[in-house]
Structure formats: structure tokens, C-alpha cells
A and B are shown apart, each in its own frame.
Chain A
Amino acid sequence: MPKSWDAIVVGSGMTGGWAAKELTEAGLNTLVLEAGRMVTTADYVEHVPPWQVRFRGLDDRRARAAEQPVQQECYACDEWSSKFFVNDHENPYTTPADKPFLFLRGRQVGGRSIMWGRQTYRWSDLDFEANLKDGIAVDWPIRYADIAPWYDHVERFVGVSGEKLGLPQLPDGQFLPPMELNCGETVVRDAVARHWPGERVLTIGRCAILTEDHDDRKACHYCGYCERGCITRSYFSSINATLPAARLTGKLTLRPHSVVHSLIYDHRRNRVTGVRVIDGETKHAIEFSARLVFLCASALESARILLNSATPEFPDGLANSSGELGHNLMDHIMGGGASGKIEAPADRMPVGRRPNGIYLPRFRNLPGRPKSPFLRGYAYQGGGDREGWGRGTDLPGFGADWKRALRDPGPWHFSFYGFGECLPRHENFVAIDKDTKDAWGVPALRIHCAYGDNEWALMQDASIAAAEMLAAAGARDISPFVEHNPPGKAIHEMGTARMGRDPKTSVLNAHNQAHDIPNLFVTDGACMTSSANQNPSITYMALTARACAYAVDLIKKREL
């Protein structure tokens, strides 16, 4: 293997896959370094039924508790898909005792794009202008007009199904036909439209799942378990879409088992010149060099690499003259909502397992509306369905007639589940824990992160508003709830190398380029200046593609 490349991309997941595709398609010989093992479609287990796994989906709880006590907090880390999550002993991190944080990770080719939730929502200027208007943190160096063409660009390739709504706070995109609401969900949609006309809209989730054949990928067949893989490549992941496209160029070299320790910096030229790697299998140290380095390792891992790359010129971490590297960590707060039984057609039920739910976009603190006693807002996911055999435990009776009764669908249920914006705060940060190293000897992170009053106020309001909407839809047995999830649980961590206009207060410029070092780009969630409340992956993808075009342009102009 040659040791010098045009570009090195660290990470092969959501953004690494995009960097690989865009850079190779521009003609750059690109090395993608992935810390974990190779994953191919042969690893997919979405069609393995419960009776072919040992505990039928109850999971091997002893093994999970022993090896993945943190990872098992993610719903997708189950009897089928736990292999896509890290071993917590090999991948330690620490937190202060009073600030629990869930660091949920997938280290393999494809990263977390294999198990992601696939929800895909654009940001708007409501989000890009929020910090400036509220006087919070720093202003985004870009606006919607800067990123809109790149949303178009990535959505056309990803394949996003969704309904156009014409809402200013949630711009429409390049959509494939939407999935359909079932007839329980339309009952709630119609009630919401009647009671809050022009304010609240319930729609089907916009998701990166194909509703018709798209390029060489097939339409969804509704088996329902995307997080276990997808043999028809119907949902977007890097191994289903971007990495195969990059491979077609002949310019891609993908190296699994490549744990990046740190970056190599040449202070005379003020350039990163390469990457120090620990081979994941042999644990030997190797170096690779390149003209250009893209960090796409995830918000926390990219921050960790830069913090572990301190030099005499950058004693607090590479490209950290601002002192903001590792700071301003955010994760969406989630789990304020309500559920209840709804009145919907008793003679109707959905058939097939739709891997998508409803979406109710943000309606708080919109321009021209009354101000709420908190900043920003939240959106709901959720959905409606009928009870199945699981209701049998508390359905009185047993025997033949009871068994027959369980064949019929049970009551309709509906739930709203809120995802709220998390404000950027300097005191939510990560640093290197010098006393803790991972299985490859790389110093681990100590994570200091907690939600503040504004986040909890959002979830309280989300719970009350959800209960109101269920009541308006005629629901019974309404249960409002606010879950007390630690940060990290939404797996939308971001902000640790934020973009900004001023090198004194931000790590990256408007093109995800390090203010301090021109051939270093960070395009994963680390770059985010605020969090909005939308699921962030499509924004990371658009920013990655945009940064790649910028970097390629600089190379063509011989400015890099």
C-alpha cells in the first residue's frame, strides 16, 4: 500500500462515506481509514426471524451487561444488531459521577450509518440565525441559501421519501413519494389540523428510505428492521450507497482496522501532513501522509483525535487556538411526550412493517407567534398502531377462545415523542482523560455534559402539548411523560469543533476548514454551531459535500 495520498478521510460512516464519494469523484486518490472491521451485506440479518436467534429477541442479557453495559441503552443494540456497537471495555470513556453521558458508538465500515434512525429534515434560517438573534454562543457563518443547493445534491443521491408541506421552518427537499399514514394516524392528523390550523401539521416522517427504485437500489419491502442491515440497500448508509459509488471511481482505498491515534503536523508549513494509525489487529503503529485530511469520525472521536494531536504550537489540541475545541457539546434532548388510546376504525389495520413514523414539525417560537417561556423549540416523532398479541398477558382468560380473540387486532394507540433543541454551552465539553486508554493505547475522553433548564422546559412543554393534541383527537387513557434521559441517548452529539466567523471563538470556518490549519477539514457533527431540533445527519452530509467541493477547488487553484 502506498503511504501517500491526495486525501485521507478518517471515518467511513455517514460523513466519511460522503467525503470518500465526493473527493474520489473529483479525481483525488483517497484513503479512508476506519477503526473497525469490514462490514458487507453478508453481515445483514434483517430477515432472520425471532425463532432463529437464541433468545427470540429478548437478547443475551448477561453477555450484553458484561460487554456492552453502555451500548445496550440504545434500542438498536439488540440480539441481532449488537455486533454493530462497540465493546465498552475496549472503548472506555469517563464522566464526572453527577454527569452521566451515553457514548453510543459503532466502529465498523459504515459506522453508525448502518443503525441510524434515517429521519431526514432540512434546517431553515430560523435555525441558522438563532444564535445571532438570541445572543447565544456564536453566529453560524452560513445561512440556508449557502447549504440549500447541497441539500439538493445529497438528497438526490440519498433518496429521501417525504411529503412537501411548504413550511418555512422545515424546508421541502428533493423527495421521493412519501410513505403513508395509517388510519389511526390520519385521525390524529385531522384533529390537529382542526384545532391548530396553520400552526401544527402532522405528516409522515421524511426518511432516507426508498419508496421507489432509485439508481441501483431497490424500493423498501417493509420488513421493518433497517438497523439490522438491508440486503436491497433500500435505506441510505455509507455501505449501501456512498462507499460503493466511491469504489466505482477506482480512486478509493478503504483500510479497516485503522485506529487513528493523532494527526501529524508540520509547523514550518502549517499543514497537517498525515495520520498516525494503530493497526487494529496487530497494534503496530503506521503513518500515512496526504495533502488533505478530512475528519469524519463523529463529533466526539474527531475532537478526541485533535485533542490527542497537541503540539508545542497547539498545546491544547491541534487547530485549537480558539480554546473552543471539545467545547459546546450538544445532544438533542428527547423523551417529552404523551401516549393514549385513540378512536380509529375498528375494522382497519396496517399491514407491513413501515420503518418510519409520523413527524410534527416545530411550532413553538416561530416568527410572528407568541413567545414561549423558553428558547427555541421541539418536534415530535411517534405514530399510531394497533395492539397485537402482547396485550394477551392482561387480557382476561386463557384457552381456545382467548387464543382466537388474540388473532384480532387490539385497540388503536398513538404516541407523540418529542426531540428538543439543545443550546450550546462552553461548560459542556470533552477533554482527554490521561489515565484512561482504549484497547489500542489511545487516550480516552472524559465527557462533561448536562442538560440545562431550557432543555427540560422544552420537554415539559412537549409533554403537555402532546397530551392536549391527543385529547383533541378524542383519545382515552392519555399518559403524558417526560423521560429523564442522560445526554448522548439521542445519539445526535455535536458541536465540539464549531464553525464560526471569528477564529478567536470557533474552530472551523464557513467551509468546515480549520481556521488555524488550511488543509484540515472537520465535517461530522463536531462542526455544528447550534443543534436545532431536526435530526442532523442530512445537514452533516450536505456540509461534507460542500466542504469537499471547496477543498477540491482550492487544490485546483493550487492554494492547498
Chain B
Amino acid sequence: MDRRTALRLLSAGAAVTAGTDLEAWGRGLHRGLGLGAPLRVLDEHQNATVVALCDAILPATDTPGAVAAQVNVFIDLLLADWYDAADRDRFLAGLAGLDGRARAAFGKDFVDGTPADRTNLLTALDDEAARWNANPAATRGPQPFYRQMKWLTLFGYYTSEIGAEQEQHYQIVPGRYVPCAPADTAITPE
């Protein structure tokens, strides 16, 4: 739901009748807007883990990173309303598996590790994902959780307003087609 639709609904008295649970109705509307939305699938610890992963994969640099772009909220939306139940459960199991790897590597849950602990573990997982990707498609199993998380972080970030406009200099109306522009132009391809 976009802001305009929400405002129209809010101003449409007919949508709110006697007996409507106004608080729940308002929460639902808020969810649709994605503004400071309560999470629907991720619990506090899972969310903290997703936020830490987003921050490690696409941190704030000279532009804001995946945390500022609220990629965790977008991932929660996909888990709630986009993925099948089996895929959602596989993702959540992947988060738990990450903690398992973390405890084996440095004796704590992922979010409780030092920055160096986390970087070392993610470096190992990144290598494993690269080996998975290098295997012929016919022989490799399902993609590792880390690779799925990497894709979700990328997609959530570059399709956000922050990622598209500040990092990528995305122009909704380019106004022209320059077939052979210098590649060091500020605009990166999609």
C-alpha cells in the first residue's frame, strides 16, 4: 500500500465501522506502509542477526548502508507474505545454523561475537558460497543460507530509495540515452 492509498483509506470513514478494532486496524495500515513497522516473522534475536549480516555485507560508507535502508524490514515482509512456508522455515533454520557455526568458531551466538569474529566466519561462509557456485548446477544441492542472505541484502538495498538514489544514483527519468558514456560516471548500471 502506498502512502496515498493509506491516506485515502484513513479519510474514508466507511472503512471504519462500529466495532472495528481501531488499534489493530491502525497497526495493519502501518504494516502496509512499512514505516517503523513491527516485525511479523523475525523475533528479536533473529532480527538482530539479520541486521548484523546486512551491516557486514553492505555497511555504511560514504553512503548509508543496508541497515539504514531497513533491509531487515523488507526481509521480514518477504518471509511473511512472499516466501512459501517451507522456504520461510529454511531461512529461519539458516539463521539458527549461523549461530551454530558461530558457537563452534568463537563460542557465542553470531551477534555476540567481536567484529573480527564475525568477519572471519563470514569470510569462511563467502568461500563456501563461491565453491557452491562453482559446482555444476546438476550436482550442487540447495544454495547455502549465506548466499541467499547475500542476495536478499543486495536486492533489498539496491531497490530501496537509499540504495537506488544515494549509492546507485538511479534516475527515474534519465531523459536521454547515452550509448557509450564514460564508465566512471556517477550512474551505475542496474
* Complex Cα–Cα for A53 and B58 (A): 22
Contact assessment for B179 and A55 in the assembled complex, using a CB-CB cutoff below 8 Å? no
* Complex Cα–Cα for A407 and B168 (A): 7
What's the count of A-B pairs with C-beta under 8 Å?
Answer: 151
**B114 partner residues in chain A, CB cutoff 8 A:** none
Q: Is B93 an interface residue (CB 8 A)?
A: no
Which residue of the partner chain B has the closest CB to A231?
B173
**A51 partner residues in chain B, CB cutoff 8 A:** 159-161, 164
- Given A353-B174, A354-B177, A407-B167, A393-B188 contact (CB < 8 Å): no
Q: Chain B interface residue count: which class?
A: 35 or more
Q: Is B2 an interface residue (CB 8 A)?
A: yes
Which residue of the partner chain B has the closest CB to A232?
B173
Contact assessment for B177 and A352 in the assembled complex, using a CB-CB cutoff below 8 Å? yes
Q: Is A99 an interface residue (CB 8 A)?
A: no
**A396 partner residues in chain B, CB cutoff 8 A:** 126-127, 130
**B82 partner residues in chain A, CB cutoff 8 A:** 55, 58, 60-62
Contact assessment for A55 and B177 in the assembled complex, using a CB-CB cutoff below 8 Å? no
Contact assessment for A179 and B183 in the assembled complex, using a CB-CB cutoff below 8 Å? no
Task: List CB contacts (< 8 Å) of A53-67 with chain B.
Answer: 53-58, 60-62
Task: List CB contacts (< 8 Å) of B24-83 with chain A.
Answer: 32, 56-59, 61, 65, 74, 77-78, 81-82
Contact assessment for A388 and B190 in the assembled complex, using a CB-CB cutoff below 8 Å? yes
Q: Mark B146-190, 1 if CB is under 8 A from A, else 0.
A: 010011001110111100100110101111111111111101111
Q: Is B133 an interface residue (CB 8 A)?
A: yes
Contact assessment for B178 and A350 in the assembled complex, using a CB-CB cutoff below 8 Å? yes
**Which residue of the partner chain, among B59, B129, B159, B172, contacts A56 with CB atoms under 8 Å?**
B159
Q: Is A375 an interface residue (CB 8 A)?
A: no
* Complex Cα–Cα for A385 and B179 (A): 10
Which residue of the partner chain B has the closest CB to A404?
B61
Contact assessment for A180 and B77 in the assembled complex, using a CB-CB cutoff below 8 Å? no
**B178 partner residues in chain A, CB cutoff 8 A:** 350-352
Contact assessment for A49 and B170 in the assembled complex, using a CB-CB cutoff below 8 Å? yes
Stretch from A267-275, A307-315, A341-349 contacting the other chain: A341-349
Q: Is A120 an interface residue (CB 8 A)?
A: no
Q: Output the least CB separation between A232 and chain B (Å).
A: 10
* Complex Cα–Cα for A455 and B167 (A): 46
Which residue of the partner chain A has the closest CB to B69?
A51
Contact assessment for A47 and B172 in the assembled complex, using a CB-CB cutoff below 8 Å? yes
Q: Output the least CB separation between B40 and chain A (Å).
A: 13
Q: Is B96 an interface residue (CB 8 A)?
A: no
* Complex Cα–Cα for A54 and B5 (A): 12
* Complex Cα–Cα for A61 and B151 (A): 18
Contact assessment for A393 and B147 in the assembled complex, using a CB-CB cutoff below 8 Å? yes
Q: Output the least CB separation between A409 and chain B (Å).
A: 5
Q: Is A69 an interface residue (CB 8 A)?
A: no
Q: Is A181 an interface residue (CB 8 A)?
A: yes
Which residue of the partner chain A has the closest CB to B156?
A56
Q: Output the least CB separation between B118 and chain A (Å).
A: 11
Q: Output the least CB separation between B28 and chain A (Å).
A: 14
Which residue of the partner chain A has the closest CB to B188?
A407
* Complex Cα–Cα for A183 and B178 (A): 10
**Which residue of the partner chain, among B133, B150, B187, contacts A398 with CB atoms under 8 Å?**
B150
**B188 partner residues in chain A, CB cutoff 8 A:** 388-389, 406-409
Q: Is B111 an interface residue (CB 8 A)?
A: no
Which residue of the partner chain B has the closest CB to A350?
B179
Contact assessment for B183 and A57 in the assembled complex, using a CB-CB cutoff below 8 Å? no
**Which residue of the partner chain, among A47, A54, A402, contacts B1 with CB atoms under 8 Å?**
A54
**Which residue of the partner chain, among A50, A62, A222, A409, contacts B81 with CB atoms under 8 Å?**
A62
* Complex Cα–Cα for A21 and B61 (A): 57
Q: Is B105 an interface residue (CB 8 A)?
A: no
Q: Output the least CB separation between A178 and chain B (Å).
A: 11
Q: Is B122 an interface residue (CB 8 A)?
A: yes
* Complex Cα–Cα for A398 and B66 (A): 12
**B187 partner residues in chain A, CB cutoff 8 A:** 351
* Complex Cα–Cα for A399 and B66 (A): 11
**Which residue of the partner chain, among B158, B170, B175, contacts A222 with CB atoms under 8 Å?**
B175
* Complex Cα–Cα for A351 and B189 (A): 8
Contact assessment for B164 and A387 in the assembled complex, using a CB-CB cutoff below 8 Å? no
**A354 partner residues in chain B, CB cutoff 8 A:** 177, 179
Contact assessment for A348 and B180 in the assembled complex, using a CB-CB cutoff below 8 Å? yes
- Given A183-B179, A398-B150, A56-B74 contact (CB < 8 Å): yes
Contact assessment for B179 and A389 in the assembled complex, using a CB-CB cutoff below 8 Å? no
Contact assessment for A350 and B176 in the assembled complex, using a CB-CB cutoff below 8 Å? no
Which residue of the partner chain B has the closest CB to A53?
B2
* Complex Cα–Cα for A410 and B154 (A): 15
Q: Is A52 an interface residue (CB 8 A)?
A: yes
Q: Mark A224-238, 1 if CB is under 8 A from B, else 0.
A: 100000000000000
Task: List CB contacts (< 8 Å) of A22-55 with chain B.
Answer: 47, 49-55
Q: Is A280 an interface residue (CB 8 A)?
A: no
**A392 partner residues in chain B, CB cutoff 8 A:** 150, 154
**A283 partner residues in chain B, CB cutoff 8 A:** none
Q: Output the least CB separation between B76 and chain A (Å).
A: 13
**B57 partner residues in chain A, CB cutoff 8 A:** 398-399, 402
**B133 partner residues in chain A, CB cutoff 8 A:** 394
Contact assessment for A389 and B168 in the assembled complex, using a CB-CB cutoff below 8 Å? yes
Contact assessment for B174 and A347 in the assembled complex, using a CB-CB cutoff below 8 Å? no
* Complex Cα–Cα for A47 and B175 (A): 12
Which residue of the partner chain A has the closest CB to B58?
A403
**B77 partner residues in chain A, CB cutoff 8 A:** 54-55
**A347 partner residues in chain B, CB cutoff 8 A:** 182-184
- Given A55-B82, A399-B57, A351-B174 contact (CB < 8 Å): yes
Task: List CB contacts (< 8 Å) of B71-124 with chain A.
Answer: 74, 77-78, 81-82, 119, 122
Q: Could you name 10 residue pairs across A and B whose Cβ atoms are closer than 8 Å?
A: A51-B160, A56-B156, A179-B177, A183-B179, A346-B183, A349-B181, A393-B150, A398-B150, A400-B59, A407-B168
- What residues make up the interface of A, taking CB atoms closer than 8 Å to B? 47, 49-58, 60-62, 179-183, 185, 221-224, 345-354, 385-390, 392-394, 396-400, 402-404, 406-410
Q: A221-B174, A351-B176, A353-B174 are in contact. List 12 more A-B contacts (CB 8 A).
A: A49-B161, A51-B159, A58-B78, A183-B179, A223-B173, A347-B184, A350-B181, A386-B183, A389-B188, A396-B127, A398-B150, A407-B168
A-B pairs, top 3 by smallest CB distance, nearest first, are A352-B177, A352-B174, A388-B189
